Amino acid sequence: MTGLLDTAAVSITAARRDDLPAVLALERAGFPEPEQWSERSWAGELLGEGRTVLLARAEQVVGIIALRTTGELADLHRLVVCPSRRRTGVGAALTRAGLDAVRHLGAQAVVLEVDYANEPAIALYQRLGFEQLTVRRGYYGQGRDALILKLYDLPGWPQRLAAQAHEEEQERREAEARPRPVEPAAPGGPNEEQP
């Protein structure tokens, strides 16, 4: 991640039906035309039973996540972040908020499909605790596979995430405290005698 989410400038709220035009604009900006969801698909997400759809808003909509909960399983259907806001924490904040929302609805696990070539998204999901289940060959068309990922034990997820963050912070502090090796001066440098 190259930037951090400015929580004062971005808020996450439940999407409403009247957000559809902004959602469609974000979809067009976020995906090439053949991969874009239609107005009908997004209307179904916004109005469908068992759906959790959240928006990240700054001056405008900069991200959206859509999940569906059926019993104890939630399916992360879509995560879209405005291209200018990618790698700033918007996607991570939306995903955390979405996972927390479906956890409160009783979901025990979450599954998703992600393009095998979408390395930033895969890295995000893995940081959040998702594990690879399988690969679906040709899921996104000729030569474009999907990874199927699953987050197990959603009720225990917040504690695992907090422990992971604590461990990463500890490692960072230890790395900063280690003495750095001193590199020898280059030949002809200020410490070398001249003939």
pLDDT for residue 42 is more than 50:
yes
All structural domains of the chain, each given as residue ranges with its CATH number in brackets, are 11-177 (3.40.630.30)
Q: What is the pLDDT of residue 150?
A: 97
pLDDT per position as a tens digit, 75-128: 999 999 999 999 899 999 999 999 999 999 999 999 999 999 999 999 999 999
Q: How far apart are CA 163 and CA 154, in angstroms?
A: 15
pLDDT per position as a tens digit, 153-171: 888 888 888 888 888 888 8
Q: How far apart are CA 134 and CA 127, in angstroms?
A: 18
In the chain, pLDDT over 90 holds for what percent of residues?
A: 60
Phi and psi based region of residue 153 (left: phi greater than 0; alpha: psi -120 to 50; beta: remaining): left
CB 58 within 8 A of CB 88: no
